[in-house]
Amino acid sequence: MSLFEPLEELECRENSLRNKVNQLSSEQKRRYYQAQMKQLKDPDTYASLNWFCLGGFHHLYLEKKMLFFIEIKLFLIAITALYIGHIEALFILVVLVLYELPHLFFSQKIVRQYNQKISNDIFQEITGAIIK
């Protein structure tokens, strides 16, 4: 997944998978959509978590635990350092904000990429086929 992936590429992959899902038997489709309903994520929830919850909680929403732990640790270190009086900790906060802005602005694309990967995984699990 990349922020710089052309949207056309993502749409092409989504359409390809959609065509393959349409060729499944009705039982396989039922299992596919049932699993998909449980695992797909909402872009608005991701964006809201990014906007309102400081410290990377939106990464947890997409199951990126390591990124969350790194971000929350840096955030807590910066807040603690500022509380103690180390004004240099503002630099850490500025870097975190600058890192998070693209995640906020591209939240729709990030979650579409995540959902596409999840959908691919579900399709592979149901059919045993490997999708590029």
Segment 54-84, tens digit of pLDDT: 788 999 999 999 999 999 999 999 999 999 9
Within the chain, what is the greatest distance between any pair of CA atoms?
64
- Which domain range does residue 103 map to? 7-127
pLDDT value, residue 83: 94
Say if 70 falls within a structural domain: yes
10 Å Cβ neighbour count for 54? 15
Residue 21 located in a structural domain: yes
First to last CA, the chain: 13
Residue 46 in any domain: the answer is yes
Q: Is residue 2 part of a domain?
A: no
Q: In the chain, which residues have pLDDT < 50? A: none
Per the structure, the count of domains in the chain is: 1
